[in-house]
Structure 1
């Protein structure tokens, strides 16, 4: 990495379109670990402010929200505009403490087998100007979570007991996480594998922000920007977003067990461009993911927004 610390500043108003005078440290040049800028990305005001505070003041920031709201992408897009290197780690149930910290590995040097300690992603990131993004934070195993707890302290030192070494964080090291729950486990029945978080650990996150689904106009703008084939069909996209909103209300009311995220709407739009038929694309994108006894209600959502029946393949004439 060429630059060890940020050497310039970025205006939050100019770079992110939010009403604030905040100036945030940034790097002048992008290197390989900097995410690519998505010019069509729309930033949420509160979440953006929280993340910028994390970068500017070295605050640990946890972004919570339902799936498909763009939590991880939000962190990456802030990092991209600051040209801040960002490493994303998914805390699935198979990630172990050794994967994070490192392990002794047998390597061949000068024709001989020798044992060398190969550091994991956490000590590697800790010693560099990197924003470490812990994805699916509430799905991490307990032994992994206690490794991370020490990093949430103010000094954030990491002890490698096998190496008798204490690592101090780089001045430009930052730490973020995303989660589908607020540390109470899977109370919605949506996220199998989500764990209850140790409250002492949850309390160590300096800032917790919630990212919700977008306002309809903003969601329409994102879908049309993502799928240029529908850029001149704003009324169609608006109806699609209305269907998605009905599924979210139905899910909140307990009527259906699945909902359409903005990601699902974008996929539906892409499939319309592929199949050339709105109803077919809808069935293949979302309806077939729903429980059998819920599909009639989902078809009603479609009919209300498009004023057309969602015929199944079996109901279509041969």
Structure 2
């Protein structure tokens, strides 16, 4: 999102709705200023609306339900925000945009990977979003390029083998043969260890195998052994 905002030269504000973000953080609260006056301080949402920012809401499937209901009035056509504390009715700036991210579709975690801390979202809230985009893993060539940009010292052959192994394991997860998967973040962690001179097996264990259920470890280890093979022994 930050890259898109940079391309269109628009300011973006990012907030994690991880359950700790309160209604007062989001909407605003009363406080006493330096002059000992009681004033209302606008929160994250009204400031973004008035200033015309792109507001990126991360982890919306973990947000407090009260925040979701507040957002509903903003998500309506010609939506606005009524601050009940002050009576102020805020109409959004023409450039204001809302973007939300989540690891689930709001119906719970089918895979079980994201069950902890996430909630089933209100259907009427989900229905107010006009556009939903699924972001999958990068195509293999682009993922190799990403790894190479961070860890060129490993060589293209090694990086290609790592991405192939990850691709096979992601497919196995999609087919419910694995309970977990290999993310790009985990590949980057593995590459970082290898770039520091760690033995391949040690790096694989500390960044991947030690994080997965016992029943998945053998399958993941075999996939990397199959694709990386002799290259692992040369690192």
**What is the 5 A alignment of 1:50-65?**
none
> Unaligned stretches of 5+ in structure 1?
1-74, 312-318
Show the counterpart of 1:6: none
Show the counterpart of 2:151: 227
Secondary structure, aligned partner of 1:250: helix
Given the two structures, how large is their TM-score scaled by the length of structure 1?
Answer: 0.69
Show the counterpart of 1:293: 215
**Which has a greater percent of strand?**
1
| 2:29 is aligned with 1:137 | no
Show the counterpart of 1:240: 162
**Which has a greater percent of helix?**
2
Q: Hey, what's the Cα distance between the residues in 1 that align with 2:230 and 2:122?
A: 49
Show the counterpart of 2:78: 155
Q: Hey, what's the Cα distance between the residues in 1 that align with 2:163 and 2:206?
A: 17
Q: Hey, what's the Cα distance between the residues in 1 that align with 2:170 and 2:201?
A: 19
Show the counterpart of 2:30: 104
CA contact (8 A) 1:91 1:140 kept: yes
Q: State the number of aligned residues.
A: 232
Secondary structure, aligned partner of 2:7: helix
| 2:46 is aligned with 1:120 | no
CA contact (8 A) 1:275 1:281 kept: no
Residue by residue over 1:24-63, the C-alpha shift from the partner in whole angstroms, topping out at 9 and shown as x without a partner, is xxxxxxxxxxxxxxxxxxxxxxxxxxxxxxxxxxxxxxxx
2:11 paired residue among 85, 88, 98: 85
Between 250-259 and 152-161, the greater mean CA deviation after superposition: 250-259
Q: Hey, what's the Cα distance between the residues in 1 that align with 2:197 and 2:149?
A: 19
Q: Which has the higher contact order (CA 8 A, sep 6+)?
A: 1
CA contact (8 A) 1:251 1:259 kept: yes
Q: CA deviation at 1:101?
A: 0.2
CA contact (8 A) 1:101 1:120 kept: yes
| 2:141 is aligned with 1:217 | yes
Q: Hey, what's the Cα distance between the residues in 2 that align with 1:166 and 1:268?
A: 51
Q: Hey, what's the Cα distance between the residues in 2 that align with 1:275 and 1:144?
A: 47
CA contact (8 A) 1:258 1:290 kept: yes
2:180 paired residue among 246, 258, 275: 258
| 2:97 is aligned with 1:174 | yes
Secondary structure, aligned partner of 2:85: helix
> Unaligned stretches of 5+ in structure 2?
none
**What is the 5 A alignment of 1:197-216?**
197-216=121-140
CA contact (8 A) 1:89 1:134 kept: yes
Residue by residue over 1:162-188, the C-alpha shift from the partner in whole angstroms, topping out at 9 and shown as x without a partner, is 101101101111111111111211222
Q: CA deviation at 1:246?
A: 2.3
Q: CA deviation at 1:262?
A: 1.4
Q: Hey, what's the Cα distance between the residues in 1 that align with 2:218 and 2:134?
A: 32
Q: Hey, what's the Cα distance between the residues in 2 that align with 1:195 and 1:264?
A: 25
Show the counterpart of 1:30: none
